[in-house]
C-alpha cells in the first residue's frame, strides 16, 4: 500500500486520505473483499490522529467503498462504486499534472487555483442523463451507444433516423426532452430539423481510425493506393475522414464504398490496400480471391473530442435548467444574503489529492488541515 498525506497542504488530511483510498479501490489496488489495515496501523504509518482515519473509514463506508465487519475489521466492499469515466478522468488528471509541473506548480497550487478561479465547486454532468442517439442502422446504434456509455455517466436512447419523428411525438406529452442528441455528420441536418425548437443541442459524432491502423498505413511504400469499405456508408465515410485527417503523404486514398455491389469490386481491383470493418472483411477477401491486395481491419474508436464536447454540453444544459429556479428563491429574502465562507480548497478536491508516491510519515501530528481528535 502506497499512501501519503501532507500535513502542510491546504487540502484537509481527511480528504487527502479518502481520495487516495477511493482511487486504490477503484483501480484494483485493493481487491474486492480484501481486509484493509486497521485504523491504528494506518494512523501509525501516516503519523496522523486515529480519529481522522476513523472518520475517513466512515466516509468510505457511507459511500459504499468499504464494509465494517464486527470483530474482523474493515474490508473492501464486494461491489464498490465506480466514478464516471475513469479512463478519461485519469488521462485528464495526468495531463493537468504534467502541465502543472512544467510551470513549477504543485497539486495544491492547481487545486486551490482552480477553486479560487471558479469560486464555486466545479460542475459535473449529472449521472443517468438521457442522451438521444440517432443513426440509420442498428449496428451503428449499438456501436456508438457502447462507446458513449463506457465514457460518460449517461443512458443512451437509441433511435433509427426513420423512426425519429415518431419518437419525438411519443415523448412530447409525458417526458422531459433529452439532455443532448448525437448523430453522424451526414444525418446532422435531418436531426436538427426534427428537433428544431425543442432546446436539445445536436452534436455530430466522429468515429476515428485506431492509431494502430494509421501506424500501419504510415509504413506503406509511397504512392500506395488505399480504399475504404464498410457495410454502412457512414462508417466508411468516418474511416475515410480520420485517415484524411492523419495527413499521411505516402498513400493515395481512392475513396469509399459500401461492402456490396459492383462498386466494391471496382475499388478492390484498383486498391493495393483495403481498410474495412470486421463485418465487411469477409466480402472484401472474397473479391480479392487470391490477389495481392492487403486487408486492414478497423472497427473504429469514438473520437475523444466528441466525448469532451458532449460532456461539456450536458453540464451547461444542467446549469441552464437550474439557474431560473435558483434566482427567485434567493430573491425572497435579500437582506439575509451573506457571503459564504469557504476554505481555500472548497468542498471538492478530487484533482488535488496527492499522488501516491510511497508511504511516508507526516512531519508532525495534528498538522494543519487534520481533523481534531
The string of pLDDT tens digits covering residues 299-313 is 766 766 777 788 888
How many domains are contained in the chain? 3
Strands (E), the chain: 66-69, 73-76, 129-135, 154-160, 180-184, 202-205, 207-208, 224-230, 251-258, 273-276, 294-297, 301-302
Q: Is the pLDDT of residue 221 over 90?
A: yes
35 in helix, strand or coil? Answer: strand
**Residue 237 and residue 267 in one domain:** yes
Contact residues for 79 (Cβ-Cβ < 8 A; gap 6+):
32
CATH of the domain at 171: 3.40.50.1860
Position 357 pLDDT exceeds 60? no
- pTM higher than 0.85, yes or no? no
- List the grid coordinates of 321: 435548467
Residue 57 lies in a domain: yes
Same domain (yes/no): 282, 311: no
- Using 50, 70 and 90 to split pLDDT, how confident is the model at 235? confident
Say whether both 192 and 152 belong to one domain. Answer: yes
Look at residue 148 and give its three-state secondary structure: helix
Is there a domain that residue 238 lies in? Answer: yes
pLDDT at residue 277 is higher than 90: no
In a shared domain, residues 287 and 165: no
From 300, 327, 354, the end of a domain falls on 300
CATH number at residue 294: 3.40.50.2300
The range of the structural domain enclosing residue 62 comes to 13-83
Residues counted in the chain: 373
Q: Same structural domain for residues 170 and 313? A: yes
CATH of the domain at 39: 1.10.10.10
pLDDT band at residue 321, thresholds of 50, 70 and 90? Answer: low
φ, ψ for residue 88 (rounded to 5)?
A: -65, -40
What does pLDDT average to over the chain?
Answer: 76
pLDDT tens sequence across 59-113: 999 989 999 998 889 999 998 887 766 666 777 777 787 777 777 888 777 777 7
The three three-digit cell numbers of residue 361, written as one number? 510519515
| Contact status, residue 255 vs residue 267, Cβ threshold 8 Å | yes
149 and 287 in a single domain? The answer is no
Amino acid at each position: 500500500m502506497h499512501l501519503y498525506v501532507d500535513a502542510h497542504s491546504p487540502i484537509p488530511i481527511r480528504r487527502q486520505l479518502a481520495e487516495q483510498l477511493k482511487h486504490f479501490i477503484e483501480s484494483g489496488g485493493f481487491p474486492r473483499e480484501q481486509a484493509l489495515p486497521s485504523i491504528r496501523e494506518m494512523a501509525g504509518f501516516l503519523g496522523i490522529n486515529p480519529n481522522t482515519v476513523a472518520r475517513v473509514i466512515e466516509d468510505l463506508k457511507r459511500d459504499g467503498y468499504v464494509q465494517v465487519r464486527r470483530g474482523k475489521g474493515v474490508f473492501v466492499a464486494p461491489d464498490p462504486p465506480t466514478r464516471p469515466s475513469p479512463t478519461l478522468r485519469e488521462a485528464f488528471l495526468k495531463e493537468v499534472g504534467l502541465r502543472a509541473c512544467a510551470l513549477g506548480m504543485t497539486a495544491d497550487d492547481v487545486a486551490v487555483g482552480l477553486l479560487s478561479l471558479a469560486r464555486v465547486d466545479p460542475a459535473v454532468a449529472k449521472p443517468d442523463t438521457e442522451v438521444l442517439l440517432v443513426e440509420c442502422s442498428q449496428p451503428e446504434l449499438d456501436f456508438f451507444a457502447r462507446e458513449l456509455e463506457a465514457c460518460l455517466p449517461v443512458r443512451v436512447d437509441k433511435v433509427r433516423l426513420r423512426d425519429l419523428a415518431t419518437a419525438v411525438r411519443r415523448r412530447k406529452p409525458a417526458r422531459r426532452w433529452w439532455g443532448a442528441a448525437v448523430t453522424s455528420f451526414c444525418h446532422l441536418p435531418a436531426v436538427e430539423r426534427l428537433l428544431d425548437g425543442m432546446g436539445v443541442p445536436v452534436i455530430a459524432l466522429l468515429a476515428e481510425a485506431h492509431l494502430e491502423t494509421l501506424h500501419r498505413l504510415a509504413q506503406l511504400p509511397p504512392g500506395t493506393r488505399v480504399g475504404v469499405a464498410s457495410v454502412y456508408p457512414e462508417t466508411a465515410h468516418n474511416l475515410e475522414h480520420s485517415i484524411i485527417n492523419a495527413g499521411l503523404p505516402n498513400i493515395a486514398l481512392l475513396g469509399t464504398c459500401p461492402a456490396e455491389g459492383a462498386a466494391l469490386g471496382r475499388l478492390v481491383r484498383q486498391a493495393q490496400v483495403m481498410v474495412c470493418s470486421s463485418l465487411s472483411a469477409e466480402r472484401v477477401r472474397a473479391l480479392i480471391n487470391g490477389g495481392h491486395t492487403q486487408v486492414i481491419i478497423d472497427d473504429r474508436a469514438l473520437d475523444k473530442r466528441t466525448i469532451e464536447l458532449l460532456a461539456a454540453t450536458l453540464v451547461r444544459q444542467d446549469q441552464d435548467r437550474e439557474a431560473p429556479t435558483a434566482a427567485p428563491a434567493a430573491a425572497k429574502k435579500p437582506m439575509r444574503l451573506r457571503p459564504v465562507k469557504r476554505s481555500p480548497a472548497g468542498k471538492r478536491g478530487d484533482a488535488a489529492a496527492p499522488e501516491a508516491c510511497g508511504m511516508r510519515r507526516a512531519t508532525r501530528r495534528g498538522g494543519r488541515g487534520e481533523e481534531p481528535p
